[in-house]
Amino acid sequence: MSKRAFGDFQTPMPLVESIVSLLKSLGIGANRVLEPTCGRGNFIHGLLNAGAPPAEIVGIEISQEYVAQARLMAGENGAVRILQANIFDMDFGHDLSWQKDGDLLVVGNPPWVTNAALGLLESDNLPAKRNLKNLPGIDALTGASNFDLAEAIWIKLIRELYDQKPVIALLCKTSVARNVLQYVRRHQIAITDASIRLIDARHWFNAAVDACLFTMSVNRGKTCYEVEVYESLSTSQPQSRMGFIGDSLIPDLRQYTELQYIEGKSPYVWRQGIKHDAASAMELIDRDGNWYNALDERVEVEETYLYPLLKSSDMRPSQRKLVKRAVIVPQRHVGENTWKLRQDAPELWRYLNQHINLFELRKSSIYKGKPPFSIFGVGSYTFSPYKVCVSGLYKMPYFKAVGLRGGRPVVCDDTCYLLPFNSASQAARTAAALNHPITIRFLNSITFWDAKRPITKGLLSRINLDGLIERLPEPDIRHRTEKILDELAANGEIETLESAVMESPAQLRLL
């Protein structure tokens, strides 16, 4: 099996040494240590060399080569046992045959690989359901479309070692730490003293993920599901405290509590942009006044079905310069009959049929049984003249007010979310409120920026815009609104007949 299938990232010795000395400084000493996937044994080496080594260390590793290296490193040291095994075939509660008693520390760095990646690698390095059947809730976890092997290992350790009251300190992705936290809370498993200490995974492992040392005490002391988050292994003061408000996990409880008045229900419905899954035919780029698709074909179709397109990359504060893109919008609402295009837009009908294979290849089941060339994320809101759009992908939220371009409503793709407006002033005012530093602070307090799509419709719907606008200083909002309106006007995005009349909130909600 490949290194990738084993999620193989051996921990460099300097990082091991920092972790071992941190644990010592926190008073987490132990008589017994388990390194559940010990690789070459770097953590064991670090523990043996740190002074006052544990009385007994057990390492488990699947790779024969690493087992040999770890055994060589441990030498004749009778305190160390390296077992060659697949941890998913073991029961940590019964199979470890401890020789000593005393406090148990679990330390290490479980594999960094997801079940989806294992599927692609045709690897079976997965927890077999039969071995996990006694772990409540694991089915929900392993049944999830994508879960991390490290999550399954965390849960196995917590469950099977529960009676031995271990301290567990493992390097893992921050997303894994959050999922484990949600799991223990959902199942009311007693944990306390949980902390996350961020590490630079790019530096240590050349991996582009957010990772940490996640530590918790299991079945000891008063249960607490709050987690102190430290900027690094060496900082002594936490930068924030993560915890639950209701069932929502909040990254920064202090900031959140201060700005909780913004939390509520959005009076307006946030919409996701257009989804078509056929970008090479549907999305066009302007070259010298002509439209081209990604197949480099010149496209001549009825212009009434083309709309200026904004993608996530256009959602930057400085990105006022227009990259001239268009998208074909063959329907005005989801499920609309497209056969009529044959008469109404014969050029478009011909073009779409020439590329029908691209539409037939669309995997998502949402397209099944729908009219040919169907799209999603389309409705009356798509055609509103003004919008406030935001990308779901970026770590810095920026709400962009957009108006008409070339007299046409702008649409965005499905990586973005939008609010529709009939007036430029209302769109500008909403963008001003959403981009206000207070709102951004609130968003920072509820958003895990390391998620693949940190901004979601669910998250945006939690901003009580009416309440927010009431609380923000009016002169400040007015000044920001005017600035946005000036920019829209300078870009020619405001209709000449734009009235200063603002829609009533009720009207806006109807869009």
The residues of the shown chain that bind ligand SAM, judged by CB under 6 A, are: 6-11, 37-39, 42-43, 60-63, 66, 86-88, 108-109, 111-112, 125
DSSP 287-312: ETTEEE-TT--EE---GGGEEEEE-G
Please, which residue, 19 or 315, has the CB nearer to ligand SAM? Answer: 19
Taking the complex as a whole, how short is the minimal distance between the CB of residue 481 and ligand SAM, in angstroms? 51
Please, which residue, 42 or 481, has the CB nearer to ligand SAM? Answer: 42
Taking the complex as a whole, how short is the minimal distance between the CB of residue 140 and ligand SAM, in angstroms? 21
Taking the complex as a whole, how short is the minimal distance between the CB of residue 45 and ligand SAM, in angstroms? 9
Nearest 5°: phi and psi at 214?
-105, 125
Please, which residue, 7 or 385, has the CB nearer to ligand SAM? Answer: 7
Taking the complex as a whole, how short is the minimal distance between the CB of residue 68 and ligand SAM, in angstroms? 12
Q: Which run of H or of E encompasses 161? A: none
Strands 411-412, 306-310: parallel, antiparallel or unpaired by DSSP? Answer: parallel
Taking the complex as a whole, how short is the minimal distance between the CB of residue 113 and ligand SAM, in angstroms? 8
Tokens 């090479």 belong to 280
Taking the complex as a whole, how short is the minimal distance between the CB of residue 9 and ligand SAM, in angstroms? 4
> Cα(408)–Cα(385) distance, rounded to whole angstroms?
7
Please, which residue, 38 or 242, has the CB nearer to ligand SAM? Answer: 38
Q: Where are the extended beta strands (E) located within 65-210?
A: 80-84, 104-108, 167-173, 191-199
Residues in the chain: 511
For residue 383 the two structure tokens come to: 């055609």
Please, which residue, 10 or 192, has the CB nearer to ligand SAM? Answer: 10
Helices marked H in 174-229: 174-186, 201-205
Please, which residue, 87 or 104, has the CB nearer to ligand SAM? Answer: 87
Q: Which residue is nearest to ligand SAM (CB)?
A: 39
Measure CA 79 to chain center.
42
Tokens 């734009």 belong to 498
Taking the complex as a whole, how short is the minimal distance between the CB of residue 297 and ligand SAM, in angstroms? 47
Please, which residue, 28 or 285, has the CB nearer to ligand SAM? Answer: 28
Q: Where are the extended beta strands (E) located within 85-132?
A: 104-108
238 touches 227 (CB < 8 A): no
Nearest 5°: phi and psi at 72?
-60, -45
Please, which residue, 92 or 373, has the CB nearer to ligand SAM? Answer: 92
Give the Å distances, CA to CA, from 248 to 251, 335, 507.
10, 34, 31
Taking the complex as a whole, how short is the minimal distance between the CB of residue 107 and ligand SAM, in angstroms? 9
Task: Report CA Rg, the chain.
Answer: 28
Order of all β-strands in the sheet with 191-199: 80-84, 56-61, 32-35, 104-108, 167-173, 211-218, 191-199, 227-230, 240-245, 248-250
Please, which residue, 125 or 142, has the CB nearer to ligand SAM? Answer: 125
Give SS3 for 274: strand
Please, which residue, 42 or 240, has the CB nearer to ligand SAM? Answer: 42
Taking the complex as a whole, how short is the minimal distance between the CB of residue 86 and ligand SAM, in angstroms? 4
Strands 104-108, 411-412: parallel, antiparallel or unpaired by DSSP? Answer: unpaired
Taking the complex as a whole, how short is the minimal distance between the CB of residue 8 and ligand SAM, in angstroms? 4
Q: Which of 462, 425, 467, 457 is nearest to 445 (CA)?
A: 462
Other C-beta atoms closer than 10 Å to the C-beta of 52 total: 7
Taking the complex as a whole, how short is the minimal distance between the CB of residue 170 and ligand SAM, in angstroms? 9
Please, which residue, 42 or 425, has the CB nearer to ligand SAM? Answer: 42
